[in-house]
Structures are given as structure tokens and as C-alpha cells.
Structure 1
């Protein structure tokens, strides 16, 4: 059975708009300034913050980037998404042990299933944040596309900085990159520069799940 990632008692729903506003105000940014940085209108950003509309995946990603936070932090409304590591034991002692503990708190991150927030987006798309601060320069999401869902909606294309890696977990999904059209089946992967106009859609009657990794910078090619 497909795990559709829909809100359940075990899957908290993120108040994304409220968290965006709190993060913006915490940094002393005006609504107009954040709108300018993200390329959306101030009125559209205001509607997102008040929960009147939902952002697209691209807009949520861009807002997180401009606020200098991860999508996990934005969805939870906290700058500390990690569960503290357990105290170390063994032969390490004193300053060496303390240094290792500090390193692990920054580098190792455990996000239990019931702490992963679900975020609803425009076009019938839902995502759950799987990564946090310990994966620098990357955001890992589990996206769900219901039948007839598309991102962005209305036959539009989107592009943003970085690179995308996609792995289809369940169902079928169409990903259009530039003039190319790819029909993904479970187990298929698709990687592309996110600066290329692209869109994702599910024209079938079964929901689809996609594991996506958004990389802030494209990998170096030799």
C-alpha cells in the first residue's frame, strides 16, 4: 500500500505561512523585501503568510533559501530540527570526547517519523521534509502527487538555482525538462539542472510518490 504522506495524528501539518512570517520578522525583513528577494509579489507573499493561499514547491524552496534556513526548519518553525545525539562511551575521554560530541550534534541528525511535517502546496502536491541542517546545501523531500496534480499548476514551467535528483517510489509521474518529456515508473531516476524550465504532473488515476533531493549548487563536471 502506498504511503500517501497525508496528515494523520502521527504526521503533524506544518503551519508554513506562520513559520515564514516568524522567520522573516525574526530577521528584521519587511514583507516587501522578502518578496523582492524571492521574486513573488508582496500581496502573494502576504496571502501565503496568512494561510489564504499555498506556495508552489519552487516558492517554498526559494523562501527558505532567502531566509537562510532549510525546508525542515521552515516547516517545523525551529532552527534546531535535530534530536541530540546520545552521550558517547568508550575509550575517548576529556576534551577529545567533548569535541566528538559537539561534532556529532552538528553532523548527525535523527528526525523521527512523527516529527516530519507535511506541507500542502498548490496544484495538489504535498511534501514531507526528510532532511535538516546536517545535510548542508541540500533538501530531501518526499513528494506526493494525487491524480491530476501538477507542479506548478496551469501548465506553467518553473526553474530555480541548483540541481535536482528525483527517484520515483510509487505510481507514475511525468517530468518535463525543457522540450523533453519523461514518464517515470517506480525505481526510475531523473537528474537535471533546476535552472532548466521544468514541471511535474500526474495524469494517471493512481497517486505517485517522489523522493527528491534539491542541491543548492550543481555538481562539478569533469
Structure 2
């Protein structure tokens, strides 16, 4: 029997601020310019990059968008550069398969990511996520999100929106997901799918931790897949 004892180890925690700074510098963008594009102050971005404060989900999504990558890609390192596991994060220099070859790629792509290589990112407001998928799944990212008791993402009654679609499956705990003016209370086993461009927020007002598997589809499949 194969020894799977390594799965009990904690996954490595990513310094998201360090990755933001590295990606920004790789693109030759100044701190003030990225802050302007992300609609935050330069001092706030500086504190995020130096690890003095954590970005909220809304800020992290906006920064990733202005850098031209997904949040999951940003968490694994500078796009196009090897991360701590030795694989390259997809980005502008490594866009993945062209549309004509995508179907063939998906038919043959096999990727194993052990727990010890799955990166974890802690965000402001009691939210964290672990990246479950890798570059073998073009146009999509799968995350395991954790919401501590009282967590709200984004905090302060704000809403977040970004490109693509979301499929969510609640593994444990309970969670409230507001999508536009609709309010959904999820229990274990419930799913919720919605266009991520609709303003939404996730809240855990209960005394138990909630875990949510989220599949983010950034591009819709081409015909023939």
C-alpha cells in the first residue's frame, strides 16, 4: 500500500505580498502605478507587499486582474517563473495550449499535486484558500477556501466581482453567499453556481469553520471538447 502519511502535513503558506511585488517588478510596473490601477493607496499596497498587512479578497482579486493573472496563479509565484515546487505559473509568457490544441491537451493531460505542494494563502477577514489545481487545467482554477467563525469576504459589507464563472460546493460548516440581491444559505453538500461578474460576498456568522471547494472558470469551453 502506498504511504500517504505526507497528506497530514500542513501545506506551505504563500507570501502573497512577496509574489505581488515580484510580479509587479517583472512587468516593470511601479508600486504607485499598480496601486492606482487597483484603486488603493500606495502605502496600503506597500504594506501588503512587505507582509505588514493582508489583502482582502476584493483587493487581491483587483491586484491580480491589474497584473493580468488569476489570484490562484499569483499565489503560486511570478507568472512564467518556476515556483517553489519547480513548476511554472501560467501567465502572459506561458498562456497554455492554443484553442485548436486545447481539446487534445485535455484528453491527455494528467497532473498529480500532493498536499505538500499545494499553496495556501491567508487573506484579511478570516479567509484563506489552498490552490488544488495546476496549469494542466487551462482557463480554470480549483481552490479550497476556509472561512473561520465570523469571517466575511470581503469584509465591511463590501462585495467583490471578477471575470468568469464560479461553481461552489460546501464541504463542511455553513456559509451564506450573497449574489446580487439574492441570499443563499449553504449546508454541507449544497452547491451554488453563478457568474462571478455579479457582485457577491461570502459570510460565516456561525461558530464553526466552513470549508468550500470552488471551481473558477475563467474561459468557457470551446465547442468540440
Q: What is aligned with 2:32?
A: 32
One of 143, 146, 153 as aligned partner of 1:144: 146
Q: What is aligned with 2:133?
A: 131
Q: Distance in 2 between matches of 1:56 and 1:140?
A: 19
Q: What is aligned with 1:20?
A: 20
Q: What is aligned with 1:164?
A: 166
Aligned residues, how many?
195
Q: What is aligned with 1:11?
A: 11
Q: Distance in 1 between matches of 2:156 and 2:213?
A: 23
Contact 1:168 1:209 in 2 (8 A): yes
1:3-22 CA-partner distances (Å, limit 9, x unpaired): xxxxx953111111011101
Q: What is aligned with 1:64?
A: 64
Q: What is aligned with 1:44?
A: 44
Rg bigger for which structure? 1
TM-score by length of 1: 0.77
Q: Distance in 1 between matches of 2:221 and 2:182?
A: 21
**Pairwise CA RMSD:** 2.8
TM-score by length of 2: 0.76
Stretches of structure 1 lacking an aligned partner (at least 5 in a row): 1-7, 86-102
Q: Distance in 2 between matches of 1:133 and 1:62?
A: 21
One of 115, 120, 128 as aligned partner of 1:118: 120
Stretches of structure 2 lacking an aligned partner (at least 5 in a row): 1-7, 88-104
SS in 2 for 1:123: coil
Residue 217 of structure 1 deviates from its aligned partner by: 4.1
Residue 179 of structure 1 deviates from its aligned partner by: 1.3
Residue 158 of structure 1 deviates from its aligned partner by: 1.8
